[in-house]
Chains A and B, each alone.
Chain A
């Protein structure tokens, strides 16, 4: 049966990759200097933190939910990392009592703890209070934003960006290893771990079962609430890692850090074929989705397209990509 697939079906199966290819070819035709290793690393580095965020959000979408608070949670985590890793010679640093540079694992773990806490709040709302993820994360988004503003405002000099970061931190995040940016390595590492969790562990299988048919999962003895909480916990860890990296990447954390990152992550997932109706999605899909999004962003900027027009084009491409991708699932009569 599979062997007699028509070419149109094969075309649809790889539609996303084709779209990505056509886009890149298009940009290269418009400006041949686009095709350089440097630009590629730039795109992938920019995609990395959002990609890690998207890997977390994807789990919630597979559970037939979503997460609107991811961006703001990332902001909180980034503020924690940045505040603890400000250069110890910087006079108006947030914690003047830190006179010796902290080991970098500490801020990373603290960021993870903060992000996990917010995610578990979302998870609790979905798993135990039976709220829709859209609603609970809408609330969490506001809470996280409020907490972020309070934290940044609590500096002795008032609300100012958390900048002047420890050079060790900056070089860890923005350095290269074997010629590949560290950010890309982090993304690859997270993606591999997540692929194993999704495909090779009970948590992953249960996640797909719950997203596909909660009732069937429950009667098969799956502890639905516990598994939902676990998916949120894993997402929290990913958000924590992403926030640590993001703070080091942009090197200045403000109250607007993370704004709309959730929407980018969700768009990435959807472009990558993670179905909003739940139970469908793959890790490579999420990655390709996030990368497509970043290629759009970067190439429009590279070609010098009007900033407002960029939004219009970006929106159109997202709609087009998803419209083509859903053809796969529509049965013809």
Chain B
């Protein structure tokens, strides 16, 4: 019906490659090259520090100064500060728990600050809630998109203020207004589509369009790229640049250094609820930001690799899914003590490959052998019995049981081994939970704490621990570090390498290439459901991965 953004990007990319413009294409995707502040023809990135008017503005559109917020037992904000200029992108950085979201919640009136003042365009304000803020041109695109999935795109955009004539909603006006905003921002989405059928990136763009339709002057983007691929990030940046040219001031919250250095004009760094620094992005480097964020030098982003892959543990031959689109004819080997990375664009069926192996998706053809034995893995249960474990991509949706305790979340995949006669043994479960908390270094007040109240990194550690309790030989990890801050990522990497050292085999899907390059032994690149190639870590580069990722698109 219409070309999705991804398709456009694929077409665009193939075009470049056919035009022998490979090096330009590569440069386009190699985010790091942008951090020097040079002009890239593809993403129209203006030289940083310039505003829409071409000169640095001294006027602020938003000034939050001396913001204080006390929660029982914690000082969440302690003289926090954020000053935002119109027509700029302002990155807000800090580790999880540094107070970024609390500060934003104060701005949107979700929390009432205990001290300090918020000034918008010279006027002191206090919003009564997100809707009040929205009506005043202050919008936020949340990391967890809050949309009515079963309704259409345009209904989601106009919810709460439907255009009406004599009490009857005008679908025509709604459609036209939505189309106008979409055309302006170059969002290739039909306003009548049911929103649940869109990809995460499209849904995010709808949310941005919603903010634009409210004539937002200030737009807060909370981790907008955490579930996007490179192409989608490029499109998002295109939109951000358009909004910047229109004079919209944006707060950009993210953990991804490369992106921040590339897209933002200014960077404010917070630590422990305090304002630490505000600098021009061009004066910053990744190392400098990390140093400011953690308050110490983080010399290594990845732990040293000490594992040595051994014999082949699992062989996959000609694996295809039963229901297309899925994987087609994928064959590979996994060795003992190996970390095998899986790279690819969104839609390259990386997750499907794992689901096929783990028995979540239906296998069409192909066979899987583990230690020379042919295995079925028709259901996840069978896969677990065969020594497989899988960490899913959507931690909140398919990983954690939010309202349940750490104990429940730790033992749930392994209940059989706690059976003592007719009952479950509390003692054994407690011991195992203690093992999870200790060996995964989970920071939690107690075993009875609800997992929901832990940070993303700690939740992920509990789930990793859950699977280790089932004593797997092969771990399938789907985006294991998504939405986790720098410090916790390092710990997850360390855990993965420790597992490999113990002789377990790890397959890991990730959209962050530096991460794959940092901890894997080999990297498999998927492209449009097919295996495009496998790279030994010594020969793997971001350019090579991108080239393979575009092979079958």
Which positions in A face B, CB cutoff 8 Å? 1-2, 196, 200-202, 205-206, 208-209, 212-213, 215-217, 219-222, 279-280, 332-333
Question: B362 to A209, Cβ gap below 8 A?
Answer: no
Given contacts A205-B151, A220-B160, 16 further A-B contacts (CB under 8 A): A200-B168, A205-B162, A206-B159, A208-B148, A208-B155, A212-B149, A213-B147, A213-B148, A217-B160, A219-B129, A219-B131, A221-B131, A221-B159, A279-B150, A333-B352, A333-B355
Residue of B at shortest CB range from A215? B146
Contact present for A220 and B131 (CB under 8 Å): yes
A1 and B1 form a contact (CB under 8 A): yes
Point out the residue from A2, A219, A221, A280 that lies within 8 Å of B146, measured CB to CB: A219
B1 adjacent to A208 (CB under 8 Å): no
Are B162 and A209 within 8 A (Cβ)?
A: no
B161 part of interface (Cβ distance < 8 Å): yes
In the complex, whether B169 has a CB less than 8 A from a CB of chain A is yes
How far is it, in angstroms, between the C-alpha of A306 and the C-alpha of B41 when the chains are bound? 79
List 9 A-B pairs, minimum CB-CB distance, nearest first: A221-B160, A221-B131, A220-B160, A333-B361, A212-B148, A220-B159, A216-B146, A213-B148, A279-B150
Report if B323 contacts A (CB, 8 A): yes
Chain A residue contacts of B326, Cβ below 8 A: 333
Q: Which B residues are CB-close (under 8 A) to A280?
A: 150
> Roughly how many angstroms separate A209 CA and B157 CA in the complex, as a whole number?
11
Would you list which residues of chain B between 358 and 404 have a CB under 8 Å from chain A? 360-362
B362 in contact with A217 (CB, 8 Å): no
Q: Let me know if B150 and A208 touch, CB within 8 A.
A: yes
Please, which residues of chain B bring their CB within 8 A of the CB of A217? 148, 159-160
Q: Which of B1, B160, B362 has the most CB of A within 10 A?
A: B160
For B135, list chain A residues within 8 Å (CB). 221
A201 touches B168 (CB 8 A): yes
CB-CB < 8 A to B427: which residues of A? none
Determine whether the beta carbon of B361 is less than 8 Å from that of A2.
no
Pairwise interchain contact A201-B146, C-beta atoms closer than 8 A: no
A221 to B133, CA, bound (A): 11
B194-206 vs A, CB cutoff 8 Å, 1 = contact: the mask equals: 0000000000000
B169–A205 touching, CB < 8 Å? yes
Nearest A residue to B323, CB-CB: A332
B24 CB within 8 Å of chain A: no
Taking the complex as formed, is B506 at the interface, i.e. its CB lies under 8 A from any CB of chain A? Answer: no
Q: Can you name the residue of chain A whose Cβ is closest to the Cβ of B142?
A: A219
Q: A205-B169, A209-B159 known; A216 and B148 CB under 8 Å?
A: yes
Q: Distance in Å from the Cβ of B352 to the closest Cβ of chain A?
A: 8
User: Within 8 Å of chain A (Cβ to Cβ): is B247?
Assistant: no
Report if B134 contacts A (CB, 8 A). Answer: yes
Asked if B164 and A202 make an inter-chain contact with CB atoms under 8 angstroms apart, the answer reads yes
B294 CB to closest chain A CB (Å) equals 33
Secondary structure dominating the interface of A: helix
- Across-interface contacts of A205 in B (CB, < 8 A): 151, 155, 159, 162, 169
How far apart sit A1 and B147, CA to CA, in the bound complex (Å)? 23
Residues of B within 8 A of A279 (CB): 148-151
Minimum distance in angstroms from B96 CB to a CB of chain A: 22
Report how far A116 CA is from B150 CA in the complex, Å: 29
Do B160 and A222 have beta carbons less than 8 Å apart?
A: yes
Check B134 against A333 for contact (C-beta < 8 Å): no
Q: Contact flags (1/0) for B169-181 with A, using CB distance below 8 Å?
A: 1000000000000
Q: 11 A–B contact pairs at CB < 8 A?
A: A208-B148, A208-B150, A212-B151, A216-B148, A216-B156, A217-B160, A219-B129, A219-B131, A221-B161, A222-B160, A279-B151
Q: Does B54 contact A (CB under 8 A)?
A: no
Residues of A within 8 A of B131 (CB): 219-221
Whether B147 contacts A216 by the Cβ 8 Å rule is: yes
B interface secondary structure, majority: loop
> In the complex, how many angstroms separate the beta carbon of A330 from the nearest chain B beta carbon?
11
B130 within 8 A of A: yes
B149 touches A213 (CB 8 A): yes
List the B side residues contacting A332 at CB < 8 Å. 323, 362
B151 engages A208 (CB within 8 Å): yes
Question: Given the complex of chains A and B, what is the CA–CA distance between A221 and B108 in angstroms?
Answer: 13
- A216–B144 Cα distance when bound, in Å, is 11
The answer to whether the Cβ of B73 comes within 8 Å of any Cβ in the partner chain is no
Q: How far is the CA of A217 from the CA of B149 in the complex (A)?
A: 11
**Whole-angstrom distance from the CB of A279 to the nearest CB of chain B?**
4
Interface status of B295 (Cβ within 8 A of chain A)? no
Report A146 CB to chain B, min CB distance, Å.
Answer: 36
Interfacial chain A residues near B146, Cβ < 8 Å: 213, 215-216, 219
Complex Cα distance A329/B161, Å?
29
Roughly how many angstroms separate A209 CA and B148 CA in the complex, as a whole number? 6
A219, B162: Cβ atoms under 8 Å? Answer: no
Give the chain A neighbours of B321 by CB distance below 8 A.
Answer: 333
Residues of A within 8 A of B421 (CB): none
* Residue picked from B1, B159, B168, most chain A C-beta under 10 Å: B159
Closest to A329 in B: B150
Chain B residues contacting A333 (CB-CB under 8 Å) are: 321, 323, 326, 352, 355, 360-362
B72 at the A interface (CB under 8 A): no
Contacts of A2 in B (CB 8 A): 1
Q: What is the bound-complex CA distance between A208 and B162, given in angstroms? A: 13
Query: B445 at the A/B interface (Cβ < 8 Å)?
Result: no
A198: shortest Cβ distance to chain B, in Å? 11
CA distance A216 to B362 in the complex (A): 34
Alpha-carbon separation in the docked complex, A202 to B155 (Å): 11
**Which of A205, A222, A279 counts the most chain B CB atoms within 10 A?**
A205
Question: Are A222 and B1 in contact, CB atoms less than 8 angstroms apart?
Answer: no
Instruction: Render B317-328 as a binary contact track against A, CB cut-off 8 A, 1 for contact.
Output: 000010100100
- Considering only CB atoms, which chain B residue lies closest to A203 in the complex? B167
Chain A residue at minimum C-beta to C-beta distance from B145: A216
Bound Cα distance from A238 to B184, whole angstroms:
45
**Residues 272-329 of B at the A interface (beta carbon under 8 Å):** 321, 323, 326
Establish whether residues B159 and A216, one from each chain, have CB atoms under 8 Å apart when the complex forms.
yes
Closest to B133 in A: A219
Least CB distance, B377 to chain A, in whole angstroms: 14
Residues of B within 8 A of A201 (CB): 167-169
Contact of B151 among A196, A202, A209, A221 (CB under 8 A): A209
A1 shortest CB reach to chain B, Å: 5
* A213, closest chain B residue (CB): B148
For the complex, what is the distance from the CA of A193 to the CA of B149, rounded to whole Å?
26
Partner of A209, one of B155, B323, B352, B360: B155
User: Please, which residues of chain A bring their CB within 8 A of the CB of B361?
Assistant: 333
CB distance from B309 to the nearest CB of A (A): 30
- Using CB atoms, name the residue of chain A closest to B168: A200
CB distance from A278 to the nearest CB of B (A): 8
Q: Are A221 and B134 in contact (CB under 8 A)?
A: yes
Q: Is the CB of A222 within 8 A of B151?
A: no
Q: Check if B159 sits within 8 Å of A222, measured CB to CB.
A: yes
Bound form: Cα–Cα A212–B156 in Å: 11
Residue of A nearest to B135 (CB): A221
The listed residue (A200, A213, A215, A221) touching B169 by CB distance below 8 A is A200
Task: Tell me how far the C-beta of B162 lies from the nearest C-beta in chain A, rounded to whole angstroms.
Answer: 5
By a CB distance below 8 angstroms, the chain A residues around B161 are: 221
**Cα A2 to Cα B134 with chains together (Å):** 35
Q: Which residue of B lies closest to A204 (CB)?
A: B169
Q: How far is the CB of A275 from chain B (nearest CB, A)?
A: 8
Cβ–Cβ < 8 Å partners of A1 in chain B: 1
Give 1 or 0 for each of B1-15: 1 = CB within 8 Å of chain A CB. 100000000000000
